[in-house]
Structures are given as C-alpha cells and as structure tokens.
Structure 1
Amino acid sequence: MLSIVGFITIVVIVAILLRGKTIPIIPLIIIPIIAALITGFGLADIGEFFTEGSLKVMNVVIMFIFAILYFGLMQHVGLFDPLINKMVQITQGNIVTISIGTVIIAAVAHLDGSGASTFLITIPALLPLYQRMKMNPYLLLLLIGGSASIMNMVPWAGPLGRAASVLDMDVTELWRPLIPIQIIGMVLMIILAAFLGIMEKRRIEKKYGSTKIALEEIKEAKESTEPKEKPKLLWVNLLLTILVVIMLVWGVIPAGLVFMIALSIALVINFRTADEQNDIIKEHAASALTMGTIILAAGSFLGILSGTGMLDSIATDAVKIIPEFISPYIHLIIGVLGLPLDLLLSTDAYYFALLPVADQIGTTFGISSLATTYAMIVGNIVGTFVSPFSPALWLALGLAGLEMGKHIRYSFFWLWGISIILLIVSFFMGLI
C-alpha cells in the first residue's frame, strides 16, 4: 500500500511540475498530505513529519535567501561590470577568441547563481558582436548556457541546495568535492569553445569569404558595451566577495551566517540611508523568497514521504524489479541519463522526486548516498539550460530571438558529451 501510494504521489507531483501550470510549492505541499491521509496517518502525525522535514532544510533556506540578496546587491552596484566589459572588448575581431571569451564572461556573470541575470547581462552585450561577425547565435546560447550550467554547481545556485536538502547535509560540504569537477568542466567548455570557434570560422569564411569586420563597427560595439558610470566601491566590494568565497571554502562557520554577515556589511558600505538599504532588499526579495519557499515546501514533501515510510517501501519493492547485474551500476546509469532526463523533468522534479527514490534504491545495493547524488548532479547539471523546463532559458531565447527546438538540436549532444566526460572523471577521482 505504501509503495503504491508513494509511487503515485511522486508520479502526480512530477506530472504537475512538468505541466508547469502551478508553482512548485503547491504540489510539493498538498499532494504528500493527501497521500499521508490516504495511508491512514492523522493530522498530528503529518504535523510531526512536516516539522522534521522543515528543520532539515532550514539551514539551506537561510543560505539561499541571504546569498541571493547578497549577489543581487553586488550585481546592482556593478561589481562584475568592469571584467565583463573588458572581456567583451578584448575578444572582438577573432572568432575563436570571441567563443572562448563568451565562456569566461558567462562564468563571471553567473557568480550570483541566477540564470536570468546571467542571460540579461551576457546576451545583450554579446549578441550584436555575434551578428556583426556573422556568427551563429545558437553558438552564443550554447556557450553561455554550458558555462553557466557548470557554474551552477556553486552552493547558492539551485541544484546543490535541492540535493543537500534531500540528503540533509550542509550544502557547502556537498560542494567542496565538486570544485575540481567545476574547474575541469570549465576547461572542457573552453576547449569546446575553441573547437566550435574554429568550425564557425571555417563556415563564415566559406560563406562570406572573410571574418574581418570594419573598424567602425568594432568601435561601435565597444561603445555599446562600456558602462555609463564606474561601479561604486569596486575594490571594497571585490575584497568582500573574495572573503565570502574563502569563508565558504573554509567552512568554519555555516554558509547562511557567512552571507548574513556579508550582506549586512555590503548594505552599510554601499547604501548610507535606511530607505536605500530597504529598497535594495525589496528589489531582490522576490527571487530570494521564491527559492526559500520552494526549499521549505520540499522539506515538507520529503519529511512526509520519509516519515510515512513511503520512500523506504518504494525502494524495497523496486529492488525486486531491478535486474541483479544492473544493481552495482544503478547510480552510473542514472548519471549517464541525467542530461536527457533534463528534457523530461524540471529541476524540482529531478532532485525532489527522482533523487530520493534513486538514493534509497542505491543504498539497498550498497551504493552510498553521496555517490548517487554526485552521479546525478554531474550527469545532469551541464544540461540545465537545455531543458525546456528552465524559465531562464525561455528568457534567453526571447532576448536572442531564437527557437527552443533549434537550440536543443544544436546544443544537446555537445553538452551531453561534456557531462559524460565529467562523469568518467568523477568516477576515476573516486567521487562516484
């Protein structure tokens, strides 16, 4: 009974998330409560399950809210503008350099963990240059999306926070072993950018005869990307942000407290009056609270499914179905299929619905929870901005005037190849 109801619960939640007709918190909260009532648990029991689940994700919620507010403030005061604009200027005129520069610019722009802000910063700045150089705009989207996806492993972005809440562990602890994978992933993206840049240069030369553009157009592109004014207190904010990253890697205090302190200092440094400080909080509060509510709803969902025993029951029964010869490799199989699953599952469905079940099944076969989680993260995260369930990707398509189907066809296999290479590297590094 528990297995059947639990399985139906997960299927219904995934189906609702796939349809995208409601925000994630509604199915994550309502459906598990109905399932618990059907299986005979009372309201008092459900209340206890909710409390246990919510407490497990509270540290993640705090970290997310204050991290989004902090990096939103840093974007607002223009901390990343000089580096981004300098890279735009340096890369103009050379196809391969433009491609590599796009990867680096996207990585810097995605330091706040927000896909929407990354695309808003990079596409308007780089698209005119791609158009003048006759470069394929789908290459621009591939390089930005792939770079941002690898940077999405940072603990204040979405995937690791979701995974950490499922595992009930500190998100920075989950992140630290992934740092070498991030570095290798960025190197692979640069190599891919260079290769595709060479291919693109040959295509342009074959079609147009030359890759050179007029000096007047280069100057015009430079002027269009130069900031209207210099960012305020650039070096102070840069030093503060470097200290934040050092503290996160060091791990001597919780990540949430790091961002609470950093945000408080940044508010005092950059805004002199209470009204200005309040305005900047209000400007970024919506995205911070949205992520916070999703994590809390996920805590409720996981608390109820764990407390009722549904997850354990599903895993136990699923073990009887899975062929014995597959069992030692179940986490690797899911990892390899991680990016294709991005076309079928939203990020919420992938981590909140699929990961708990995969973890339970893997544990039964002697596979550690961390190994399963890392396999699913590494195998899936590179395709974050190939998924039609990514709202930020739709924003990017609108900014660039491109089509989803063509983007998937252009980017899918390149990014899937990188995810598989990263899985292999992770395997030999002992991560999975």
Structure 2
Amino acid sequence: MLTFLGFAMIIVFMYLIMTKRLFPLTALILIPILFAIFGGFASDLGSIIMDGVKNIAPTGIMLIFGILFFSVMIDAGLFDPLVNLILKIVKGDPVRIAMGTAILTILVSLDGDGATTYMIVVAAMLPLYKKVGMSPLVLSAIIMLGGGIMNILPWGGPTARAMTTLKMDASELFVPMIPVMLGGIIWVLFAAFWLGLKEKRKISKLAVSPQYFESIETLNTQRQLKRPGLIWFNLALTISLLVSMMLNILPLAVSFMIGFCLALIINYPKMDDQQKVLKLHAGNALSVASMIFAAGVFTGILTGTKMMDAMAASMISVIPDTWGTFFPVITAVTSAPLTFFLSNDAYYFGILPLITETGLHLGSSKLEIGAASLIGQGVHLLSPLVPSTYLLVGLAGVEFSDHLKFTMKWALGSSLAMLITAIIIGLIGF
C-alpha cells in the first residue's frame, strides 16, 4: 500500500507540474498532504510536516542570504572592474570575445540568478558580437554553458534541492563538488575558444570603435547603487566568506547572514538605500527559498510516512547487486536526460530520493549520489521547461530550436567533463 501510494504521489506531482496544472510551490505542499490524508496519516500530519521543514531550514536560510549577499556585491560594483577589463581586452578578436563571454558569464553567475546573468552578459556582449559579425548563437551557447556549471552553486537551486533531499549541508555536498565544477569550467573555456576560432575563420577581424567601450558603463544596471570606493572592502568580505565556507569555520547560512548584514550596512548606510536594495532582490530570494521550504513538506511526508522506505525496497528488489559499483556513474549519466526532460523540482524531489535509497543499499554513499545527480546540470538549462532559457534566446535574438541544436553537443560535453573529473578525483567510484 505504501509503495503504491508513494509512486502514485510522485507521478501525480510530476504530471501536474510538467503540464503546468499546478505551480511547483503549491504542488509540493498540497499533493503530499492529500496523499498522506488518503493513506491514513492525518493525525500525525502536523508533526511530520514540521520535521520536514526543520530539516531544510538551514538550507532555506542559506539561500535567502546567499542570493542577497551576491546581489549586493553586484549592485555595489565589486565585479565591474573585471567586467570592463574583459571588454577592453577582447576588442575585435572573435576568440577573445568568446572567451570573454565565458569568463563574464561565470563571474556574473555568482549570484545564482540565471535571469540576471542573461540580462547583464547579453547587454554587455551582444553589441560587440554584432559589430564584429559573430553569430548570436555562439553568444547564447556560451552563456548557457557557463550558467549550467555555475547553477551548481548552493544558492543556485539544484544543489539546494539535492541538499534538502539528502539532508546534507553545503560543506558536505557542495565543497567536494568545487573541483568538479572547475573541470566543467575548463570545458566551457575550451568550448568558447573553439567556437571563437570557428567564428574567426568565417569573418574578417574588424576594428571596434573606441566609443563602444566608453558606452559600456551605461550598460551597468543600478548605477546609483555603485560603490567603487568600497571595492577593496567588498572583495575582502567576499573572500572571507568563501574561506569560511571552504574551511567550515561557520555554517554557511550563518556566514551569509553576517556577510549580508555587513555588506548592506557598510555599502548603504542610509535606510532608504537599504530598502531599495532589499526591494530589488527580495522577490528572487523569496521565490527560491519558498520553494525549498515547500519541498520540506514534500520530503517530510515522503520520509515520515515511510513511503520512501517502501518504494526503495521495491526498487532494490529488481536491481542486481552487481550494479552497485557502477550505480553512481549510472546516476550521473541518467541525470542529464532526466534533468532535461524533468524540472529540477520533479527530479530532485521526486526521483532523487528513490535513487538515493537504492544507491545506499547497493553500497554507494550519499555524497556519491548527490554529486552524480548534479552532473546533469550541464544540460538542464537547455530544457524547454526552464523559463529563463526563453529570456536568453529572446535577448540574444535567436530561435529556441536553433539554440537547442547548436548548444546540445557542447552541453553534453560539460556533463561529461564533470563526470570524468569526479571519477579522477575519486568523488564518484568506478
């Protein structure tokens, strides 16, 4: 009964969010509650839900303040010198332009917001692509490749979902993934170099008007919030926060809370400016964090009612024990198509719990399963289920189908590069 109930709940959940019958936030809360009541758990529902929400509270807090912290850093202009330097260095060379696009995307993606990344990078680079005669498909492809890797940041979404499902924190799951992300970044830079080289062979190198670089500054958003005089303080604060994360000096949620408060007060001592910054970014922080807390309801019910145990037992019974050694690799390989055809909510809240329980029985660790599940993010942003992808192709002025065909092989390469890196460093057994 529990097995049937659990699988039925996941199928209904995925169907409703895939067909857009329900918004993921409401589906994550209402669907498991209805199934729990149907299964006879109405009397224990309150405690089960609260246990689930409590388990993900640190992740939700980390997401809120992580997004706000990096949003303040971008608003204050911490990254502006590097952005402008990149633009001046690339000039009219298609290879440099492509490489600069990749570096700029990786840099701006630190705030974990794909829409912000697309708007900033396309606004800065598209005029240059047009000036030189480069294909805008190269621009959209490189931005998506870089964004796909940086989407693994714990405040970006997928990692937070994985941490919620696996009941792990950032130091346990994300920090070991950093070398894997570096492997993916190396691939992105290679892809950018190769695409730039192909463009260079197709077009003649043209001179770019010096006035272009003088106009770059006007492309920076929120000019009134820039704080160039505090760049060294902001840089030191950001490095300190990253060191704290790497060394696990404080829980990441606490580090971001402290870091955000210091950044906000010192960069914007006036109350009006502080309120302006919060209004600008509160919506993004709230939308991501509310999804995570809603997921606490889903995973809490799935676990507290023992549906998860029953479903895992049924899956374990049909999987040969000889698959145990290769299970993390199988998870990594399948995560690419699954996160392409499913939303992150459906995969990390609906599929990953089953994969995890099965993998633990076969001898895999939660870290291996979690890392493997994130490798598919190299492809995920190409999915037609990702709303921000339509923003990217719209800003770049390309057709979605053309973007998909042009980028897919490079996106698969990103996931492959991360998988190879994970195997080499021993994060995933083989």
Note if contact 2:165-2:299 (Cα within 8 Å) is conserved in structure 1: yes
Across the two proteins, how many residue pairs are aligned to each other?
422
Structure 1 residues 324-350: Cα deviation after superposition (integer angstroms, max 9, x where no partner): 554542332231122222321111112
Distance 2:314 2:32 in 1: 20
Distance 1:259 1:327 in 2: 38
Structure 2 unaligned regions, length at least 5: none
TM-align CA RMSD: 1.7
1:19 offset after TM fit, Å? Answer: 2.4
Amino acid at match of 2:206: I
| Alignment partner of 1:330 out of 327, 331, 335 | 327
| Alignment partner of 1:391 out of 387, 394, 409 | 387
Q: Give the structure 2 partner of residue 41 of structure 1.
A: 41
Note if contact 2:145-2:410 (Cα within 8 Å) is conserved in structure 1: no
> Is 1:212 matched with 2:212?
no
Q: Give the structure 1 partner of residue 60 of structure 2.
A: 61
Q: Give the structure 1 partner of residue 170 of structure 2.
A: 171
Distance 1:170 1:197 in 2: 39
Note if contact 1:386-1:412 (Cα within 8 Å) is conserved in structure 2: yes
1:365 offset after TM fit, Å? Answer: 1.6
Matches within 5 A, 1:373-392: 373-378=370-375, 380-392=376-388
Amino acid at match of 2:48: F
Note if contact 2:94-2:196 (Cα within 8 Å) is conserved in structure 1: yes
| Alignment partner of 1:360 out of 354, 357, 362 | 357
Distance 2:125 2:86 in 1: 10
Comparing 291-300 with 334-343, greater Cα deviation is found at: 334-343
Q: Give the structure 2 partner of residue 223 of structure 1.
A: 214
1:323 offset after TM fit, Å? Answer: 4.7
Comparing 320-329 with 125-134, greater Cα deviation is found at: 320-329
Distance 2:21 2:126 in 1: 32
Comparing 113-122 with 268-277, greater Cα deviation is found at: 268-277
Comparing 156-165 with 382-391, greater Cα deviation is found at: 382-391
Structure 1 unaligned regions, length at least 5: 206-210
Note if contact 2:175-2:246 (Cα within 8 Å) is conserved in structure 1: yes
Amino acid at match of 1:60: T
Amino acid at match of 2:174: W
1:115 offset after TM fit, Å? Answer: 0.7
Note if contact 1:331-1:358 (Cα within 8 Å) is conserved in structure 2: no
Q: Secondary structure of 2:286's match?
A: helix
Q: Give the structure 1 partner of residue 130 of structure 2.
A: 131
Q: Secondary structure of 1:382's match?
A: helix
Structure 1 residues 164-218: Cα deviation after superposition (integer angstroms, max 9, x where no partner): 111112123211111111222211211121122222222x24xxxxx2213xx43
Distance 1:218 1:109 in 2: 25
> Is 1:400 matched with 2:386?
no
> Is 1:78 matched with 2:77?
yes
Comparing 14-23 with 168-177, greater Cα deviation is found at: 14-23
Structure 1 residues 11-30: Cα deviation after superposition (integer angstroms, max 9, x where no partner): 11112222234331111001
Distance 1:20 1:82 in 2: 42
TM-score when normalising by structure 2: 0.94
The structure-2 alpha-carbon separation of the partners of 1:21 and 1:135, relative to structure 1 and needing over 3 Å to count, comes to farther
Distance 1:102 1:188 in 2: 14
> Is 1:236 matched with 2:233?
yes
Q: Give the structure 2 partner of residue 159 of structure 1.
A: 158
Q: Secondary structure of 2:206's match?
A: coil
1:143 offset after TM fit, Å? Answer: 0.9
Q: Secondary structure of 1:135's match?
A: coil
